[in-house]
Amino acid sequence: MTAKFMFIWSLIVILSRISATFVHALAQVIRFHPKVPGVWIYAAAWEFDHNLNAAAGRALMQRGLGACPNSEDLWVEYLPMELTYLNKLKAQKVALGEDDETLLRDAKVNAEMQWRNESG
């Protein structure tokens, strides 16, 4: 694979982003170039950030890590995505009132709170 082919694919993806064929074009790029970490990163970031589909973004990153297990770039991008996902889950629990102080740092405080809840 040459840089010329990747340039052509990137143009196709950019141009198709305007139309409804964006997802199809991105899938084709992944199908033809599964060993290019940047393709996986771009597809996962689009799903996670623009399509607001965290499950699909995480799945794409995990598939990319399976295809390119030695790619440092994929691992470097995967960790912040997972941390962002965990922060979103935590914020959702807080917003729904389901947060029961799970992130307290002091084990003694956790034990005291548990004792109060059980005895009160």
Q: How many residues does the chain have?
A: 120
Report whether 26 contacts 43 (CB < 8 A).
yes
How high is the pLDDT of residue 91?
85
pLDDT above 60 (res 112): yes
How high is the pLDDT of residue 120?
59
The predicted model scores a pTM of 0.65
The pLDDT tens digits of the residues spanning 39-85 come to 999 889 988 988 888 999 999 999 999 999 999 999 999 999 999 99
Distance CA 106, CA 50 (A): 38
Counting residues of the chain whose pLDDT is more than 90, the rounded percentage is 31
